[in-house]
Amino acid sequence: DAKTTQPTSMDCAEGRAANLPCNHSTISGNEYVYWYRQIHSQGPQYIIHGLKNNETNEMASLIITEDRKSSTLILPHATLRDTAVYYCIVRPYSGGGADGLTFGKGTHLIIQP
Amino acid sequence: DAGITQSPRHKVTETGTPVTLRCHQTENHRYMYWYRQDPGHGLRLIHYSYGVKDTDKGEVSDGYSVSRSKTEDFLLTLESATSSQTSVYFCAISADRDGNQPQHFGDGTRLSIL
């Protein structure tokens, strides 16, 4: 699977948009970009995923560059409850073999009051 | 949130004792997974299941066994627990294994082997 690179930590003011970048320059054409987050002591929570097009759901928006080498997760109006570690993951379309997700170190997002 | 319940949520036991962790889902999803999470290692796949009585090994399967006799339940067993198996264990489920199907996680079991 392609490797991802994320900043170690970021701060954002409450009520502002939080923009979390991810670099995945070795991504291949059949690999999806996934975002999860993990709040302390809880299981990873699925946020959003996409292949080529930008995606939006009730939690966030995902912007994927045209060359697919990077993406940005946008939390439109961050709240204190959005403080968590955010993971960007690249995942192939076809499973084949053990289909475990590979979580890197992620970005620790801290929402400031 | 996906209907996933892990039990127990916390357990402390002694080296050499058997331990069974349970994952129960109400989503009728075909695929179920067991991961462990340790500082410095992220999440690592232990075993997964692709249907009733169909299971396979993941990255760190040594010392663990699994069983799935019903769609909704996936059990993880440590036959003889060791201190190196102290960890947080997460169960995940997905409707299918292709890349367009997200895995959804439970809230974990914190296991301490003394």
Pick the range with the lowest mean pLDDT from A1-5, A9-13, A48-52, A68-72.
Answer: A1-5
Identify the closest residue of chain B to A85 by CA–CA distance: B42
Q: Do B106 and A43 touch (CB under 8 A)?
A: yes
Residues of chain B in contact with residue A92, where contact means CB-CB under 8 angstroms, are 99
% of chain A exceeding 70 in pLDDT: 94
- Write the pLDDT tens digit of every residue in A72-113: 999 999 999 999 999 999 987 765 545 778 888 899 999 999
At residue B32 the predicted structure's pLDDT band, cuts being 50, 70 and 90, is very high
- Write the pLDDT tens digit of every residue in B96-105: 888 888 999 9
Q: Closest partner residue to B97 among A32, A99, A103, by Cβ?
A: A99
Cα B5 from Cα B22, distance rounded (Å) = 8
Over range A21-48, report the average pLDDT: 93
Confidence (pLDDT) at A61:
98
Q: Do A100 and B56 touch (CB under 8 A)?
A: no
| Average pLDDT of every residue of chain A | 91
Residues of chain A in contact with residue B108, where contact means CB-CB under 8 angstroms, are 41-43
SS (H, E, C) chain A: CCCCECCCEEEEECCCCEEEEEECCCCCCCEEEEEEEECCCCCCEEEEEECCCCEECCCCEEEECCCCCEEEEEECCCCHHHCEEEEEEEEECCCCCCCCCCCCCCEEEEEEC
At residue B1 the predicted structure's pLDDT band, cuts being 50, 70 and 90, is low
Q: Do B108 and A43 touch (CB under 8 A)?
A: yes
- Write the pLDDT tens digit of every residue in B38-86: 988 888 999 999 999 999 999 899 999 999 999 999 999 999 999 999 9
Confidence (pLDDT) at A91:
86
Confidence (pLDDT) at A95:
56
